[in-house]
Amino acid sequence: MKTPSTKKIIIEKEPIAFSSSSWEKSQHSTKRAGEYLLGPKQGSSPVKCIQQYLARKDGTDEFYIIKMLTMKGASEKETMDDIQGKTLLHTEHSLSSLLKYEDGVVHEHGMFRSTIDETHCNDKGEIVTKEVTKLCLVLDCYMPHDFSPKYSHITNMQYYLICLGKHLTSDNDLLKDQRGSPAYISPDVIIGKPYLGKPSDMWALGVVLYTMVYGQFPFYDQSPTGLFRKIKTGEFQIPVYHTHILTFPKTGFS
């Protein structure tokens, strides 16, 4: 996918020391997910039901990041957190699958279900082991020492996509913050007045779709001022054999 500029983004903030020998020594106490040995937790998640781990493929020196979603049992009711977690994981898997032949992005290496024993304390204070099902998404693992001229173009998608796991209590709640990558910001955010979250999120998703289809941003300028001016007009061109101008509907935007 082509982008106007190239960025070097370090995904992990701090180096993580590990070796195959240390993994082999502690293998008896290491949790597994399919053919992967699970190591320490990594980062944080916008939803409680998803956790991510450093993992090594069994019998190799290949390391990955595995995002794991805890699935509810047949008799258990799904919460909003569970629903959002499934949406997040399946969306990331779908987008990553579409980009599997592209350079410069974190690639996925499959999604599968795994049954894992989890130990917890029940209401009586007893330590019990429960069998739970996890939905696992396997992703590339890039550590700081992996970055070299060969990997200088690597881009972590989570820095560019909006956070689908964060929600408001009401559709009518107004936002005042101005966050996100400039190319994805909606006119409402640029104006600086309180705005509705969903229309601005839909604008950002539209920019994502356009970029995936045409390999370039619908709005681009070398200066932030010029970029924001183009976004506020809402006009963009379809680059493939089309010369007409399309305009976003003004409904829902200031």
**pLDDT tens per residue, range 200-242:** 888 888 888 888 887 778 888 878 888 888 888 888 887 765 4
Are 25 and 82 found together in one domain? yes
Q: How many helices (H) and strands (E) does the chain have?
A: 5, 10
Alpha-carbon torsion (203, 205, 208, 213), positive or negative: negative
Are 153 and 190 found together in one domain? no
Query: What is the rounded distance in angstroms from the CA atom of residue 245 to the CA atom of residue 237?
Result: 5
Nearest CA to 143 among 108, 109, 88, 106?
106
Q: Is residue 234 part of a domain?
A: yes
pLDDT band per the 50, 70, 90 thresholds, residue 138: very high
Are 143 and 202 found together in one domain? no
CA distances from 184 to 154, 200, 234 (A): 20, 9, 12
- Decide which of 105, 134, 158 is a domain's last residue: 158
Nearest CA to 56 among 86, 33, 74, 79?
33
Residue 94 tokens read as 């779908």
Are 173 and 140 found together in one domain? no
Q: Is residue 254 part of a domain?
A: no
Q: Is residue 74 part of a domain?
A: yes
Q: Is residue 9 part of a domain?
A: no
Are 186 and 133 found together in one domain? no
Domain count, the chain: 2
**pLDDT tens per residue, range 116-137:** 777 777 788 788 787 888 999 9
pTM of the model: 0.47
Q: Is residue 143 part of a domain?
A: yes
224 exposed, middle or buried (CB, 10 Å; 0-12, 13-18, 19+)?
exposed
Are 36 and 93 found together in one domain? yes
Q: Which domain holds residue 178?
A: 168-247
Query: What is the rounded distance in angstroms from the CA atom of residue 161 to the CA atom of residue 108?
Result: 16
Are 188 and 125 found together in one domain? no
Q: Is residue 110 part of a domain?
A: yes
For the chain, the straight-line distance linking the first and the last C-alpha, in angstroms and rounded, comes to 32
Give the CATH number of the domain where residue 228 resides: 1.10.510.10
- Decide which of 98, 126, 158 is a domain's last residue: 158
* pLDDT over 50 (residue 46): yes
Are 116 and 198 found together in one domain? no
Which pLDDT does position 32 carry in this prediction? 84
Task: Give the position of tokens 């917890």.
Answer: 120
- Decide which of 131, 158, 185 is a domain's last residue: 158
Q: Is residue 12 part of a domain?
A: no
* pLDDT over 70 (residue 3): no
CA 164 to chain centre: 9
Average pLDDT for the chain: 72
- H/E stretch holding 232: helix 224-233
Are 107 and 148 found together in one domain? yes
Q: What number is the average pLDDT over the span 3-13?
A: 42
Are 136 and 217 found together in one domain? no
Are 51 and 141 found together in one domain? yes
Are 103 and 26 found together in one domain? yes
Give the CATH number of the domain where residue 50 resides: 3.30.200.20
Q: Is residue 3 part of a domain?
A: no
